[in-house]
A and B are shown apart, each in its own frame.
Chain A
Amino acid sequence: MRSGALSGSLPFGARLAGRMRQREVQAQIVFCVLLAALVWGFIQAASGIEGRGGAQSGFGFLREHASFELGESLIPFQAGDTYFRAFLVGLLNTVKVAVCGIILSTILGLVIALGQLSPSILAARLCRLYVEVFRNMPLLLQLIFWHTFLLRGLPAVRQALSPVEGVYLTNRGLYVPAIAPDPAYLPMLLALVAGLALSILLRHMARQRDGVIAPKWRLAMIFGPPLAVFLAYGAPFSLDMPALAGFNFKGGWTLTPEFAAMVIGLTLYTAAFNAEIIRAGIQGVAKGQTEAGLSLGLRRSQIMRLIVIPQTFRIITPPMTNSYLSLTKESSLAVAIGYPEVVRVANITLSETNRSIECIALIMIIYLMLSLLISALLNVVNARVQMQHR
């Protein structure tokens, strides 16, 4: 109180000077000044490089027309579309690989982790072998191996393997029948969303009255409206069958060997790490919990499912977040096998426009955004699975 009164009586300048004398504050100011100088220096250097090229800098080139093709894409793309759209295609292809890799590597990781902990010595040793083999070989090498394996191992287009009518397996990809688009499908999607919203609303209202809605009614609420729309349109359903036309199969859905090699490689590699994280998580749950479950007469599978696994989530969520982030960033290695993800788009744009700094900045921004998004989602999960202290 007294010191406050004292400092309050001093003029502002003197108080500031007193603060400045504190070494801690001085160090922080020096740091901030250095950081600002560094950033300013980078900007100066970058604008200098662009200036010498004589071209205007900035991201305006994204509106210009790209003259290249990309091979595979979730949205329609062809030469003559803008660079912005090309980057969007690359981003979606990156997300496609990352989402598939994350889901599959988690499932496989869980299986391998449970295998390692299983009482069967053979299963435990085989799973251990898996982990040691896959996590100790460079990912790039594994990707190139799978790509070459698929190209050499699968038959050419004209000798396609066709186990079922309409399904063709070749070294240019797996072709399967697609559901032909129909005007009824958009209203069906809207009806599904409406049903989902209704079910969430009713569940919320029921909770307020401490009631529950039976699962069968909730399912009916979600899937009833789209089914009604489907029938109202006269149940339109036809398959778009792939057929050999000219050089390639046309129609249907295609899974390219580049995409398959990426998903296989990323999944097998990351699953080895995920298995170790999950194994550590399971072993990190206190032994007393299992013993308590046994003394209650629960079976081992029940103990695992009801007691251990839910507690495992608390331990593994932060390291699994890291694993998912690595997988997403490692998908940039796709450039080595020609999968058209965001780095490939940036490379070809760079060679056409000479906007090297902008293109590299775009890749960095895109990966940063993806990583922050994954972190944010998993932080929500983490907050929900943590023990509730009341």
Chain B
Amino acid sequence: MRRRLLNVVAAVIGLAATSASAELLDEIKARGELTCGTMDYLAGIGFLDDAGNWSGFDVDFCKAASAAIFGTPDKVKFVAVTGAQKFPALASGEIDILSRSVTATISRDTTLGFSYIGPNMMTGQGLMVHKSTGATDYDQMDGATICVLAGTVTERYLADYFKAKGMSFTPVAAENGDQLFSMYFDNRCDAVTMEPPYLAIRRQKMSTAEEHVIFEDVIAKSYEAPMIREGSPRFYKLLQWMHYGMVTAEELGVTKANVDEMVASSTDPRVQRLLGVEGTIGADMGTTNDWMVNVIKAVGNYGEFYDNNLGANSPLQVPRGLNALLRDGGALTAPGWQ
């Protein structure tokens, strides 16, 4: 009920804000700074360290946006927003981009007055299991005891999944995330269910991290996406194509390390178009022709962006899964850069 009320308030404020403002891209350029709502406590997603540096997947998206607009990744003012604040903060104009692990759904897209970019992280509901059980797959989980967060959809999805497979499990319900993982690590349960990146983050905090396995498959989907207010088509298209550009860069093998070399010597017309050596797409969109060069220099292509924060080059070691390129067996793809 309270959430519904908040959403209504957010939508009303959103309407007022959009009708008052012109194209946000022009406003941000005039202001010389981008504001980005994220979280400050979850390493790998959004984290503020002792020295005042922001890092993480959701943080890097905003740094990339800054590079796309201003040429450098540091023209961002980060604002830590809580789960309850996130939509009102975006609707009221306090933040320009909400990049805080928000799951994209039809109701959020169509009734709140927001648009989502991407989705840039495709995940779902997964399981973390004690390695000592020997289980490596959902099919081996028949009869297991599984810790669940009370009253969430994960409880229902888990029961649906096991019922469909003709298997059984014993749930143990926890009231909050800390209690949930404490029960799992105390071996009250064989497994614990949540989105795999968060399972990986919790596992990373444990000294016994290597004694736990996270299954690569998921049993229900949760596609996360940055959000902006509706009503600024050029800002929306810039961010949407920045995401596609990062994916295209990975497809073409353009990386943070070789981007300068590619600009100077690549003869591939696809690379030349992407990096603005050829054509005036960037300028036509309201930024510079070399905007994708700046984005790739700031955070890398999509693969680097993912791996440095969550994947192979980070302590979390979350597998790419659906977020691998289509040609590598994932679901990540982008329309043609013509």
> Which residues of A line the B interface, CB within 8 A?
49, 67-72, 78-80, 148, 151-152, 156-158, 171-172, 245-248, 250, 257-258, 335-336, 338, 340, 344, 347-348, 350-352, 356
Contact = CB atoms under 8 A, between A and B. Distances in A.
A283 to B, nearest CB: 42
Nearest to A158: B132
A68 B174 contact: no
Binding site secondary structure of chain B = mixed
B219 to A, nearest CB: 13
Contact of B168 (A49, A78, A245): A78
Contact of A347 (B150, B156, B174): B150
B173 interface: yes
Contacts of A171: 186-188
Interface string B137-165: 00001111100001110011001101100
Contact of A247 (B144, B159, B172): B144
Contact of B190 (A49, A148, A245, A247): A247
B41 interface: no
B319 interface: no
27 contacts: A49-B1, A67-B156, A69-B159, A69-B162, A69-B170, A71-B171, A71-B173, A79-B160, A79-B162, A148-B182, A151-B183, A151-B186, A151-B188, A152-B186, A157-B187, A171-B187, A171-B188, A172-B145, A246-B144, A247-B133, A247-B135, A247-B190, A248-B143, A335-B150, A336-B175, A338-B172, A338-B173
Interface of B: 1, 132-133, 135, 141-145, 150-152, 155-156, 159-160, 162-163, 168-175, 182-183, 186-188, 190
Given A78-B163, A79-B162, A338-B173, 19 more contacts: A49-B1, A67-B156, A67-B160, A67-B163, A68-B171, A69-B171, A151-B186, A171-B186, A246-B142, A247-B141, A247-B145, A247-B190, A248-B145, A257-B188, A335-B150, A335-B175, A338-B172, A340-B173, A348-B155
Given A338-B172, A348-B150, A68 B187 contact: no
Nearest to A340: B173
Contacts of B132: 158
Nearest to B133: A247
Contacts, number: 85
A156 B211 CA distance: 14
A172 B188 contact: yes
B163 A71 contact: no
B180 to A, nearest CB: 9
Contacts of B170: 69, 71-72, 248
Contacts of B156: 67-68, 352
A276 to B, nearest CB: 32
A297 to B, nearest CB: 59
Contacts of A336: 175
Closest 9 CB pairs of A and B: A79-B159, A338-B173, A156-B187, A351-B151, A151-B186, A247-B144, A246-B143, A247-B190, A69-B171
A86 B186 CA distance: 28
A276 B160 CA distance: 50
Contacts of B171: 68-71
A330 B163 CA distance: 34
Contacts of A49: 1
B174 A338 contact: yes
Nearest to A356: B1
Contacts of B144: 246-248
A347 B150 CA distance: 8
Contacts of B160: 67, 79
Which of B133, B168, B173, B183 counts the most chain A CB atoms within 10 A?
B173
A72 B169 CA distance: 11
A107 to B, nearest CB: 29
Contacts of A71: 170-173
Nearest to B153: A351
B152 A351 contact: yes
A250 B144 CA distance: 11
Contacts of B190: 247-248
Nearest to A350: B151
A102 B214 CA distance: 44
Contacts of B182: 148
